[in-house]
Structure 1
């Protein structure tokens, strides 16, 4: 761990963790920890957790990472659902299908995670960002046993080699699989970049009588809501890409903008999104039937868009609240009981 003007660098630990938890063709079952209650991971132990072999090995050697990994998974899931709570796809998880936090459906996102859509791009980005954010915060607060570089890990090879997995016969794999892997890795890296680019610079003055003779500055993590908002903006401006063969690089599908570079922080997708209007349990789509909408909004939460043109039902809900409260000497508060009527609109 290295300090410079108050800035803490945890590059080695963060990269190792991110690369280990995004291996080749990973179904990202570690995200399941975000749906579980506290202490479940410790109770199960590394051997019984839904990890790959490399993940289990890292877990066995560094069990102190588990709380932060779970915190990162929860952070990413919560922010995903916050950013998409008014959209047709509202970051559906296996929990939404069966209502259980301890579900054994380790895939969490099911089909959506490997669909190559804009939504999948956001999932990979926000979950990677949550992991990095949680680990960095734990290191900065001194809540982790070690945050520096481990010389014994230098034999893992370069980060890109580790991400791409062990060498093999490329011709035996479909080009679409290569493209999906490349896009998922790019989007995971974009999530990590979002954490770095939203960091705040804080300064403190030192001097006699409040003067600023010496100023100390350091970088600190921004609230994760800011990271999520930045990724949602990139989701809205994501780029469709294609790859015709295993040897080709991923490139823009739009011929007009093909000559331009693919920025590292840009989210990429391979396939157009379904409309998410109708239920399709096989693809992890709940549909929008029964979702609450706004009759007056013209945005994504408006009944016109959210209900996909099917119309909506309206019911009146009566709510009772305490109102006109006054303090009475001595010593209690007296309130009136007020009732209000609210229209609730839900999609047909």
Structure 2
């Protein structure tokens, strides 16, 4: 996705599937003129412009992660950078793709803010102040030290800001979004790990200093991708307060599951109403038998083959100390692309 850095400073998913952006103008002006925000969001926007800028700086990370997870699928988390809605009409449909987008974006906000707090980029937070004194784990006692990532602070702000609109609407789609937002936030916390440094004579590790650290966002992305695969199709319960499985044989969703209401389109052809851009022109693998195969990716329409020249680094040698020298190798390869719809 090619989003101009100066044009994007923050986003919020709305219940109607909108993704709104703030540019480089003053926070008061921009927060008051962004359509679709509820009063609570405008208030938080005005009060915390630095947090909004931090979120905007991290937007590429979670969109990039979404595109990594689906790079070989018909739906590849494609975006519309010139549209006020970065995913077009995709989020208007209560599909499992929409569920994933809400979850990964909520997780991305938490991950970005947690990192920003630990790195001293925000005045409102820093390292986790509760990680003081001594504690213990399976290896024994340790002292809290270093900088523990303050994920709880990031989760609270993300929940207050992102969920504000959903809590005002309180319809079926809002409940779906709230559920998937929460699943995304919990996924980040799930992969917090204890990192320690040993102290003692000759590395005896008689004393340990430890801190809690975020995992790489790829772990969160992998986890949510698995949740997408096992997403539960649901219906509203008779009280309108929660979900029940859409079919009797389906399991009841847990708090960690992604949930959706509507079946997904096949994404084979361009369809503005469903947000599908089709697979015409997509690169496919002729010899593959997976979802990236030309048969699956091109939906039976066939594919075109073109010969292209590629340059890669080859015959790399390590030279002491400390450089690696490579040759540029040129090769002709066949590239297969799906035929457009007729």
- Both structures adopt the same fold (TM-score exceeding 0.5): yes
Q: Does 1:54 align with 2:40?
A: yes
Q: CA deviation at 1:121?
A: 0.5
Q: Does 1:292 align with 2:283?
A: yes
Question: Secondary structure at 1:29's aligned position in 2?
Answer: coil
In 1, are the aligned partners of 2:16 and 2:91 still within 8 Å (CA)?
A: no
Which of 19, 39, 64 matches 1:29? Answer: 19
Q: CA deviation at 1:40?
A: 7.1
Summarize the Cα distance change of 1:276–1:204 in structure 2 as closer, same or farther, 3 Å threshold: same
Which of 263, 266, 279 matches 2:254? Answer: 263
Q: CA deviation at 1:69?
A: 1.6
Aligned ranges 1:83-94 → 2 under 5 Å: 83-94=69-80
In 1, are the aligned partners of 2:265 and 2:274 still within 8 Å (CA)?
A: no
Q: CA deviation at 1:203?
A: 1.3
Question: Secondary structure at 2:286's aligned position in 1?
Answer: coil
The unaligned stretches of length 5 or more in structure 1 are: 1-19, 96-102, 168-176, 328-332
Summarize the Cα distance change of 1:335–1:247 in structure 2 as closer, same or farther, 3 Å threshold: closer
Residue number in structure 1 paired with 2:198: 205
Distance 2:107 2:316 in 1: 45
1:226-275 residue CA offsets vs partner (Å, 9 max, x unmatched): 111111011011111112656353111131345x4x21111111111000
Residue number in structure 1 paired with 2:167: 165
In 1, are the aligned partners of 2:265 and 2:276 still within 8 Å (CA)?
A: no
Distance 2:119 2:326 in 1: 45
Summarize the Cα distance change of 1:196–1:323 in structure 2 as closer, same or farther, 3 Å threshold: closer
Question: Secondary structure at 1:283's aligned position in 2?
Answer: coil
In 1, are the aligned partners of 2:28 and 2:46 still within 8 Å (CA)?
A: no
Q: CA deviation at 1:94?
A: 1.6
Summarize the Cα distance change of 1:182–1:221 in structure 2 as closer, same or farther, 3 Å threshold: same
Distance 2:78 2:162 in 1: 30
Distance 1:73 1:339 in 2: 35
TM-score, reference length from structure 1: 0.73
Question: Secondary structure at 2:212's aligned position in 1?
Answer: strand
Summarize the Cα distance change of 1:235–1:206 in structure 2 as closer, same or farther, 3 Å threshold: same
Distance 1:161 1:80 in 2: 21
In 1, are the aligned partners of 2:286 and 2:336 still within 8 Å (CA)?
A: yes
Summarize the Cα distance change of 1:163–1:325 in structure 2 as closer, same or farther, 3 Å threshold: closer
TM-score, reference length from structure 2: 0.75
Summarize the Cα distance change of 1:129–1:28 in structure 2 as closer, same or farther, 3 Å threshold: farther
Which of 132, 135, 142 matches 2:110? Answer: 132
How many residues align? The count is: 292
Q: Does 1:145 align with 2:115?
A: no
The unaligned stretches of length 5 or more in structure 2 are: 1-10, 130-155, 319-323
Summarize the Cα distance change of 1:320–1:212 in structure 2 as closer, same or farther, 3 Å threshold: closer
Summarize the Cα distance change of 1:206–1:93 in structure 2 as closer, same or farther, 3 Å threshold: same
Residue number in structure 1 paired with 2:49: 63
Distance 2:326 2:198 in 1: 49
Residue number in structure 2 paired with 1:282: 273
Which of 303, 313, 317 matches 2:308? Answer: 317
Summarize the Cα distance change of 1:142–1:344 in structure 2 as closer, same or farther, 3 Å threshold: same
CA RMSD between the two structures = 3.5
Distance 2:162 2:278 in 1: 38
